[in-house]
Amino acid sequence: MWFIIVESIRAAFTSISAHAFRSFLTTLGIIIGVASVIATVSIIQGLSYTIGQQFQGLGSNSITIRSYTPMKDRMQGRIARLTPADLDLVSYRVSGIESITPVLYSQSNTSGQIRYGTETAFASIQGTTYTYQQVASLYAKYGRFLSDSDNKTRRRVCIIGEELRKTLSLPEDPTGEFIAINGEWIKIIGLMEPRGEIFGQSQDNFVLLPYNSMQSLMGNIVEPDIFIQLTIASLEELEAIKSRIKRLLRDSHELKPDVDDDFNIQTAEQLTDSFNNILNSVTVVMGGIVSISLLVGGIGIMNIMLVSVTERTREIGICKAIGAKRQHILLQFLLEALILCLLGGIIGLILGYGIGILAASYIPNFPPAHTPLWAVMLALGFSVMVGMVFGILPAAKAANLDPIEALRYE
């Protein structure tokens, strides 16, 4: 049996090499289909892989609480808020919290104008406390982080990110320099280590001020809406702590049982899962669309193999006349179709991987392509399946030829 398989494979390669250009055109549909699938998957999965790596830096034990207002309530002018009272409630009534900090953004959560000399930039301006360093895993490259005394005395000090330092043309060590934030002069006391980009957006274009200083800069006109970020001591208590926070905030906001929460409680793992679910759905849809070309390629292979059977009718007749059985002929033509598809799949795999790398490198601020093993196995497996499905009809036709009629064929 092994001898028959080896001889069939040898005969298949001989036939393919004898008509090399036709064989290439035959596999072109498979090549394009596999290349399209691999390029699409590698680009999307590269983005997914990068997101996963970046969210790992947030820590699996971190929780973020923010206000949430449904669109219906927004249209009616009702805006949900988290207040310092909510922060105190969570801080004093929930056990198992390792560190907790408020985060107060500038008005409307938009970027604020920052000036240094003749340079002007726009960056995220946030007010927070010294515990934010532990919650967000921020570390100083130069200078120091915000302290508790900075917050209590409402000092006009700040720390900045590397991207903002470059935009404002500040010295490599900007500590001691003064920048103007919305017209107020603030002293820089620290520069944070760079954290890179996520979704093509820099994570280093920010200014952090003491929470109370930020409140005084915004004035009493604006009713604050804060984020609450915290870390927990034990991951085993994560769900219990989330439930406890939810009950406290619902009671505090006097929400009736049939009313939805006016806040969101999210973990880093939930954010990662949400983004990955979206990207996986996109991968499946895009992969399904470009897989149509694989179907077209399979039909092309079937047509060419049927032509090949017709061309080699006398050869089949001779083989049967000297003792070749039906299953031998069937195996030979089926293996030829499989090898054609597999060669097309391998070439398409290499081509698609190269296209994915080039496409990702030419898209500004896009993460590098990443081709998971499952995509490689799926592409090659699909190629083999196409070879079997569309090769069985020509192989069966060849195997069923009458040897006398085949020898008479001109």
What's 194's DSSP letter? P
User: Exposed, middle or buried by CB within 10 Å (0-12, 13-18, 19+), for 318?
Assistant: middle
Q: In Å, what is the CA distance from 207 to each residue of 187, 203, 270?
A: 11, 11, 27
The answer, yes or no, to whether residue 402 has pLDDT greater than 70, is: no
Q: Please state, in angstroms and rounded to a whole number, the distance separating the CA atoms of residues 372 and 38.
A: 9
What is d(CA 110, CA 71) in angstroms, rounded to the nearest whole number? 19
Using the 8-state DSSP alphabet, how is residue 218 labeled?
H
Q: Which two tokens stand for residue 398?
A: 């060849």
For residues 94 and 244, give the distance between their C-alpha atoms in angstroms, rounded to a whole number: 7
The answer to whether residues 301 and 26 touch, using CB atoms and an 8 Å cutoff, is yes
Instruction: Indicate if the alpha-carbon torsion angle 102, 103, 107, 109 is positive or negative.
Output: negative
3-state secondary structure of 223: coil
pLDDT at 343 exceeding the cut of 80: yes
Domain boundaries, the chain: 2-54+277-408, 62-267
Q: Which of 210, 217, 207, 219 lies closest to 115, judged by CA? A: 207
The four Cα atoms 193, 197, 201, 206 give a dihedral, to 10 degrees, of -10
Could you report the per-residue pLDDT of 275-299, keeping only the tens digit for each?
Answer: 667 767 776 776 676 667 777 777 7
d(CA 283, CA 49): 13
Question: How high is the pLDDT of residue 207?
Answer: 92
pLDDT at 381: 80
Nearest residue to 26 (alpha-carbon basis) of 280, 322, 386, 405: 386
Question: For residue range 181-238, what is the model confidence (pLDDT) as tens digits?
Answer: 878 899 999 999 888 766 556 778 899 999 988 888 876 655 678 888 888 877 778 7
pTM value > 0.85: no
Overall average pLDDT of the 173-178 stretch: 92
Average confidence score pLDDT of the chain: 78
The residue to which tokens 């061309």 are assigned: 311
Pairwise CA distance, residues 167 & 239, whole Å: 42
Q: What percent of the chain has pLDDT over 90?
A: 10
Give the Å distances, CA to CA, from 18 to 12, 21, 24.
10, 9, 12
Place of tokens 């290349």: 35
* Dihedral sign computed on CA atoms, order 290, 291, 292, 293: positive
The predicted structure's pLDDT at residue 230: 86
Tokens 């105190």 — which residue? 88
**Cross-strand partners of 62:** 231
H/E element, 67: strand 62-67
Q: Is the pLDDT of residue 11 over 90?
A: no
Q: Are 45 and 374 in contact (CB under 8 A)?
A: no
Q: What is the mean pLDDT of residues 2-7?
A: 65
pLDDT score of 179: 92
Predicted pLDDT of residue 373: 79
How many Å apart are CA 56 and CA 223, to the nearest integer?
33
The rounded distance, in Å, linking the Cα atoms of 261 and 255 is 8
DSSP 108: G
The more confidently predicted of residues 381 and 54 is: 381
Report the distance separating Cα 76 and Cα 58, nearest Å.
35
Which one of 80-89, 155-164, 341-350 scores highest in mean pLDDT? Answer: 155-164
In this structure, the number of other CB atoms found within 10 A of the CB of residue 402 comes to: 11
Considering Cα of 292, then 295, then 301, then 306, what sign does the dihedral take?
negative
